[in-house]
Structures are given as structure tokens and as C-alpha cells.
Amino acid sequence: MSTNFETIKFEKNGDFAVLTINREKSLNALNSQVHMELKDLLSVLKENVDGIKGMILTGAGEKAFIAGADIVEMTDMTSDEAYDFATLGQENTLLMEELPFPVIACVNGFALGGGCEMAMSCDFIYATETAVFGQPEVKLGLIPGFGGTQRLAKLVGRNKAKEILYTGRNIKIDEAKDMGLVVKSFSSIEDMMNAANETLTKISHNSPLAVALSKHVMNTGNDLTVSEGLEVEAKYFGEIFSSYDMKEGTKAFVEKRRAEFKGK
Ligand code: CAA
């Protein structure tokens, strides 16, 4: 896989990978180039030929995770170009959700607009105590374009999301945790990255197939009624019974030993 990118950095260490948005001077703002490089990378990662068991998404530097879509680039966009830009960004959020392994957003500062939207497309969010979230698009005469009108409402409830979107206000870490947007906060970037690696390690001891299917069923169910979602759950619950990992996991329990999962 080519890892020769200009605006993103992809590093694989053993079973895990770190994907960094790498435009520190612009506070990692998402321009078209970032999105095109992300699309190239995420499309390959979706097939997971390297057997990655977990990934961290973060931003370069200490100030920002992602300070939003690139406002400088958007200034001159036509309506058609803006539509294409939003569609490209949305494709990447969908690709992130479809990766067959867990992705933790490690938010190291500002996660505004498109930054908050990218973080919400990950499986869950860890953040530093100084992190700031928000959807400030209305302050720029815009609306969110990479999923903020949809995912924030599903995460924190529609009325809370409306209040956040209409005011465009900043959300500090305690509130972000209270509303369930952030799962855990840390006093330093180093502590956050270590904790994310520990969480990925803990997850990797489980069946990778079962983790991937849990992710798939939960994300699919997000767009369905409860009874439709339960049907999807039953379908995959049935299918997983013909997997090696299910036989191994249940047998290991009965034999009182640690399971050796293969992810198939
Ligand atoms: N796009 C382009 N450049 C950005 C940027 C963005 N979203 N955010 C910051 N930058 C640039 C600044 O222009 C500045 O560049 P120069 O040094 O060349 O002037 C550099 O990053 C550092 O930023 P600041 O000097 O502004 O840093 P600060 O500490 O004073 O403020 C901030 C930090 C509060 C995050 C401020 O930069 C800011 O408000 N940024 C914009 C946040 C925003 O509105 N995001 C939403 C964008 S719209 C969107 O995302 C739409 C969508 O859903 C698709």
C-alpha cells in the first residue's frame, strides 16, 4: 500500500495504525487534497489485507485535531464545487465507519466543524482536557457538510444538536463528556495516545471477526428502526456460528483456556 502522502501521515506499528491529518500550519484544516488522500487510503484500508486490528485518528501538533474544512479553499467555491466537496468529505466519513476494525479519534485540541464531523465518524472519541468541540458553520454563513447535521443528532439527541448547531458555540471537555460525545479525557496527549493503544490492545484480544461484525451491525442499525436492526443482528448472530472464531471462543471457555482467534 502506498503511504506516500503530503497532507496525511499513515504509520503502522504491529497490529495497530495511526492516521494523522498533517497540516499543522492550517490547524489540520481539511482541504480537497486531504480528502482525496484520505479517500485513497481509506478505500484500501477497507479491504484490510494487512490485518490491522485497530487505528487511531489524530491531528498533527498540539493545538488542533482538525479546525474544520479549509475556509480559505471554500471562499471561492461554486455551488457545484461545494456539493462535490461535501460529497467527498461525506464519503470519507462513511469509509471510516465501514473500516472492519475499531477506530478511536484522539482529539488533541480544536475539533471544529469538519473536525468534529470526522471525529464523530470514528467508533468513539478520546480527548485531551483542553479539547474544544463545535459546529461553528453558521458563524461563517454555512451549514455543516461532512455529516454534522446527521451524526451529532444521533449521538447527543436532536434538540441538543440543534442548540449546538444554531449557536455555533464551543463545547468544552466536561460538557462534551456529559453529553456522551467524548468517552474519556486525559491531561496530556501522551496519556491519551497510551490509553488509546491500551484500549485497542484490549479489544485485539477478542475475536476480530466479532468486533468487526459488532461495528457493522451497530452502524447499520443506526439508520434502521429497532425491529429492523434486530433482524440484522439476528442475521449476523446466525452467520457467526459458522466461523472458526465462534467455535474456538466457546470451546476455549469450556476448556478453561485462552482463545486463539483467527478473525475468520
Ligand atoms: N481553514 C483554513 N485555515 C484555518 C482554519 C480552517 N478551518 N482554521 C485555522 N486555520 C488557519 C488560520 O487561518 C491560521 O493561518 P495563518 O497562520 O496563515 O493566518 C492558522 O490556521 C492558525 O489559526 P489561528 O491564527 O486562527 O489560530 P487561533 O489560535 O487564533 O484560533 C481557532 C484557533 C479558534 C481554531 C481558529 O483558527 C478558528 O476559528 N478556525 C476556524 C474554525 C471553524 O470555523 N471551523 C469550521 C469550518 S467550516 C466547516 O468545517 C464546514 C463543514 O462542515 C464541511
pLDDT of residue 50: 86
Give residue-wise pLDDT tens across range 13-46.
999 999 999 999 999 999 999 999 999 999 999 9
Distance of CA 105 to CAs 50, 153, 182, 195, Å? 21, 18, 9, 12
Question: What tens digit of pLDDT does each residue of 185-207 get?
Answer: 999 999 999 999 999 999 999 99
- Indicate which residue of 24, 91, 129, 137 is catalytic: 137
Q: How far is the CA of 101 from the centre of ligand 1 (A)?
A: 31
Ligand 1 close to Cβ of residue 16 (< 6 A):
no
Q: Per residue in 234-263, pLDDT tens? A: 999 999 999 999 999 999 999 999 999 998
Residue 1 reports pLDDT greater than 80: no
Cell of 159: 434538540
Q: Spell out the domain ranges in the chain.
A: 8-204, 208-254
- Asked if 137 is an active-site residue, the reply is yes
The CATH class for the domain spanning 208-254 reads mainly alpha
Rounded average pLDDT over 157-164 = 97
CA–CA separation, 1 and 11 (whole Å): 11
Of the candidate CATH numbers 3.90.226.10, 3.30.700.30, 3.90.800.10, 3.40.50.300, the domain formed by 8-204 belongs to 3.90.226.10
Tell me the per-residue pLDDT of 38-97, one tens digit each, with 9 for 90 and over: 999 999 999 988 889 999 999 999 999 999 999 999 999 999 999 999 999 999 999 999
Q: Which atom of ligand 1 is nearest to the CA of 27?
A: 21
Place of cell 456460528: 241
